[in-house]
């Protein structure tokens, strides 16, 4: 007999149904045993009366989180027993067959709460139990809906989703790379991409014109706040466009997403306000102001654009180590951002005054993502490399890009909104760990799998590396 989703029982009074799920609660009222059966869709009550000894005997053994198949007849509850808190609160199941599919130990923590009160260590060690909370399952399913919406909307605009490599090259791009030792090429390493930035620019050079990817990115940063070693962005790039085209496209996409997937949310201002970087700093003291009218309204979404960022920032020691060269300034977005055409002359006279064709998309005080129009001429790219003080060797690491640009690179630009942060804000969650299925802990570990972990001496030998204590 076909499986029925528990949520559907509310409309199946009088029908026989075959339910599969987990025991949420068992209440023994002496004469009657009540169980609440839970699946992904909801919870429904079943009542075991003393008349059927065999069924009752099985029901008596049931404990929370046991897995069962329950065949039964859907009946209307006595009116005074209606439970208005759940969609199936007017019905109950009269059992006909009960099969235990798996037993369960008592979970290490309560599953019928939102879970915020439980320590991260427990939640992450038993993430497969933590995820059983309706709150988390809902976050995961909403994330799926939002991402699918983005994919379909962009495909409708003739974007192609294209997968780019995860095993790539270490280049000094502003953060620390994760690297992967090569077994076949001793002393060499792959790097995990900080973003598909170079690949997407090469795709534009290849004539793809409209690319996107829900892309995994990796940064080996010191752990803090809601950073994760791996995160996901909507990576997007277009050829033959202006900054205006990209801003309009993204605004349309996200506005349409909110309307379709989160219709209870209200966008504060439409079209989204646009502030120059200088204006934002002057008026709000920050380049990601929270522009909500009522910060207590959890349904308010205040989107805005910040534009006209300076192309360069003063260089820090970290910049030097992980990216820029020996000059006084580092790229404020990244080294592929095009200078504002009106400011080209300033590149020679006063680089810190040059504006970049760069834009950030902010939401409720968070930076969701940044983008820019890119340089597409090799001579300007080389000039930027010189300005940030790249050595010959550092330039050589980007030779493929400089070479590619000599073969007819089109004007292009793009953006990369962070999916995790966007979903987090729309779900009203305080941390991106709440909207990822298997996040790392705040200190960068996977407690469930116990990663990172030791590897065997044989593995290290094959990889031609040795651990230095």
Subset of 144-163 contacting its own copies (CB under 8 A)? 144, 147-148, 151-152, 155, 160-163
Instruction: Supply 218's token pair.
Output: 């990796």
**What number of chain residues touch its own copies (CB under 8 A)?**
119
Taking the CA atoms of residue 75, residue 78, residue 82 and residue 86 in that order, the dihedral angle to the nearest 10 degrees is: -10
Collect contacts of 45-51 with beta carbons under 8 A, ≥24 apart.
45/77, 45/83, 45/88, 45/92, 45/93, 46/70, 46/72, 46/92, 46/93, 46/94, 46/95, 47/92, 47/93, 47/94, 47/95, 48/95
Asked if residue 109 binds its own copies (CB under 8 A), the reply is no
Asked if residue 229 binds its own copies (CB under 8 A), the reply is yes
Asked if residue 459 binds its own copies (CB under 8 A), the reply is yes
φ/ψ of 118, rounded to 5, equals -95, 145
125 Rama sector, left if φ>0, alpha if ψ -120 to 50, beta otherwise: alpha
Angle at 193 between CA 192 and CA 197, to 5 degrees: 170
Asked if residue 61 binds its own copies (CB under 8 A), the reply is no
Q: How far apart are CA 175 and CA 318, in angstroms?
A: 8
Asked if residue 26 binds its own copies (CB under 8 A), the reply is no
Q: In angstroms, what is the minimal distance from the CB of 365 to its own copies?
A: 26
Choose the stretch contacting its own copies; rule: CB under 8 A; options: 88-96, 332-340, 364-372, 439-447.
439-447
The distance of Cα 299 from the centroid of its chain, to the nearest Å, equals 20
Q: Under rule CB under 8 A, which residues in 240-259 are in contact with its own copies?
A: 240
Tokens 């990244």 sit on residue: 334
Using the rule CB under 8 A, which residue among 164, 197, 233, 358 binds its own copies? 164
Print the SS3 string covering 121-142: HHHHHCHHHHCCCHHHHHHHHH
Q: In angstroms, what is the minimal distance from the CB of 282 to its own copies?
A: 36
118 and 100 Cβ atoms separated by less than 8 Å:
no
Asked if residue 216 binds its own copies (CB under 8 A), the reply is yes
Using the rule CB under 8 A, which residue among 103, 121, 297, 318 binds its own copies? 103
Asked if residue 91 binds its own copies (CB under 8 A), the reply is no
Choose the stretch contacting its own copies; rule: CB under 8 A; options: 8-16, 65-73, 77-85, 259-267.
65-73
Asked if residue 409 binds its own copies (CB under 8 A), the reply is yes
Asked if residue 455 binds its own copies (CB under 8 A), the reply is yes
Q: In angstroms, what is the minimal distance from the CB of 162 to its own copies?
A: 5
Q: In angstroms, what is the minimal distance from the CB of 276 to its own copies?
A: 27
Asked if residue 367 binds its own copies (CB under 8 A), the reply is no
Asked if residue 52 binds its own copies (CB under 8 A), the reply is no
Choose the stretch contacting its own copies; rule: CB under 8 A; options: 9-17, 312-320, 425-433, 442-450.
442-450
3-class secondary-structure state, position 318: helix
Choose the stretch contacting its own copies; rule: CB under 8 A; options: 7-15, 66-74, 78-86, 256-264.
66-74
Q: Under rule CB under 8 A, which residues in 111-150 are in contact with its own copies?
A: 126-132, 137, 140-141, 144, 147-148
Asked if residue 40 binds its own copies (CB under 8 A), the reply is yes
Asked if residue 400 binds its own copies (CB under 8 A), the reply is yes
* Closer by beta carbon to its own copies, 89 or else 410: 410
Q: How far apart are CA 138 and CA 426, in angstroms?
A: 12
Using the rule CB under 8 A, which residue among 117, 184, 342, 392 binds its own copies? 184
φ/ψ of 414, rounded to 5, equals -165, -165
φ/ψ of 380, rounded to 5, equals -75, -40
* Closer by beta carbon to its own copies, 211 or else 361: 211
* Closer by beta carbon to its own copies, 105 or else 342: 105
Inter-axis angle of helices 243-261 and 134-156, to 10 degrees?
A: 140
* Closer by beta carbon to its own copies, 270 or else 459: 459
Q: Under rule CB under 8 A, which residues in 254-313 are in contact with its own copies?
A: none
Asked if residue 320 binds its own copies (CB under 8 A), the reply is no
* Closer by beta carbon to its own copies, 153 or else 312: 153
Q: How far apart are CA 46 and CA 68, in angstroms?
A: 12
Angle at 193 between CA 192 and CA 195, to 5 degrees: 155
């Amino acid at each position: 007999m076909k499986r029925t989703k528990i949520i559907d029982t509310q409309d199946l009074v009088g029908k026989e149904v075959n339910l599969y799920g987990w025991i949420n609660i068992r209440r023994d009222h002496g004469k009657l045993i009540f169980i609440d059966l839970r699946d992904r869709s909801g919870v429904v009550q079943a009542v075991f009366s003393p008349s059927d000894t065999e069924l009752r005997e099985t029901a008596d053994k049931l404990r929370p989180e046991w897995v069962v198949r329950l065949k039964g007849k859907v009946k209307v509850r006595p009116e005074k027993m209606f439970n208005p808190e759940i969609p199936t609160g007017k019905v109950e199941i009269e059992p006909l067959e009960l099969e235990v599919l798996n037993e369960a130990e008592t979970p290490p923590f309560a599953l019928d709460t939102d879970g915020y009160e439980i320590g991260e260590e427990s939640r992450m060690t038993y993430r497969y139990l933590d995820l059983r909370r309706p709150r988390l399952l809902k976050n995961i399913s909403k994330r799926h809906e939002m991402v699918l919406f983005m994919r379909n909307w962009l495909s409708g605009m003739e974007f192609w989703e294209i997968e780019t490599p995860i095993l790539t090259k270490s280049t000094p791009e502003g953060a620390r790379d994760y690297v992967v030792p090569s077994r076949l090429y001793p002393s060499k390493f792959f790097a995990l991409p900080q973003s598909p930035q170079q690949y997407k620019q090469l795709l534009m050079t290849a004539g793809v014109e409209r690319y996107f990817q829900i892309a995994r990115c990796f940064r080996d940063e010191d752990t803090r706040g809601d950073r994760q070693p791996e995160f996901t962005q909507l990576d997007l790039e277009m050829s033959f466009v202006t900054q205006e085209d990209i801003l309009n496209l993204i605004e349309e996409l996200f506005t349409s997403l909110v309307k379709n997937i989160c219709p209870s949310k209200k966008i504060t201002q439409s079209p989204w306000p646009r502030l120059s970087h200088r204006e934002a700093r002057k008026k709000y003291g920050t380049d990601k102001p929270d522009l909500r009218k009522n910060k207590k309204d959890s349904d308010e979404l205040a989107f805005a654009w910040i534009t006209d960022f300076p192309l360069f920032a003063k260089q820090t020691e970290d910049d030097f180590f992980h990216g820029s060269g020996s000059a006084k300034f580092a790229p404020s977005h990244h080294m592929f951002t095009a200078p504002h055409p009106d400011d080209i002359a300033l590149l020679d006279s006063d680089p810190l005054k040059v504006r970049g064709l760069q834009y950030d998309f902010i939401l409720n005080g968070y930076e969701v993502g940044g983008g820019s129009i890119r340089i597409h001429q090799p001579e300007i790219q080389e000039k930027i490399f010189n300005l940030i003080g790249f050595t010959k060797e550092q330039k050589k690491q980007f030779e493929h890009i400089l070479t590619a640009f000599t073969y007819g690179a089109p004007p292009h630009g793009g953006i990369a909104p962070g999916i995790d942060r966007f979903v987090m804000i729309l779900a009203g969650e305080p941390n991106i760990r709440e909207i990822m299925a298997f996040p790392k802990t705040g200190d960068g570990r996977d407690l469930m799998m116990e990663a990172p972990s030791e590897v065997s001496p044989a593995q290290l030998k094959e990889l031609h590396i040795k651990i230095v204590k």
